Amino acid sequence: METKGPSPPKNLWAYAYEIVPPKTADHMKVIEALLEEEYAQAKQTARTWRGQLVCEQQVTHILVVSDTPDQGEEVNRRLERRLKALKAGFSRTMPMPLSDDDPAPPAPRP
């Protein structure tokens, strides 16, 4: 009988949507609900996709962590359609890889 060892860790990617002018949390309820729906769907299919809404005074962010750098996925198209329906001007950053293998930055010298 062959035993499987632990599966290799997934590569994770992070990117963000920036919404300017900012929207209040009340205005973003439909987006927050979509983020939760997408997270649940990703979890059911053993994928990683998580979006977090961050409302600040000068900008609203949606921070995303995903198992793929492909931003053309349906999840992003749904999110962007909802943002456009809210008449929210937004931009999206390029995906950046996240890795535990990155060395820690050196400690500052006294």
CB 34 within 8 A of CB 78: yes
The interaxial angle of helices 29-44 and 74-85, nearest 10 deg, is: 170
Residue 1 lies in a domain: no
Residue 51 lies in a domain: yes
Residue 28 lies in a domain: yes
Residue 105 lies in a domain: no
Q: What is the CATH number of the domain that holds 51?
A: 3.30.70.600
What would you report as the CA-atom Rg of the chain, rounded to the nearest whole angstrom? 17
Residue 103 lies in a domain: no
Domain that holds residue 35: 12-98
Q: pTM here?
A: 0.78
- Please state, rounded to an integer, the average pLDDT across all residues of the chain: 85
Residue 4 lies in a domain: no
What are 79-107's pLDDT values in tens digits? 999 999 999 999 999 999 997 555 444 44
Q: Is the pLDDT of residue 61 over 60?
A: yes
CA distance 62 to 65: 10
Domain count, the chain: 1
C-alpha torsion sign, points 45, 43, 41, 69: negative
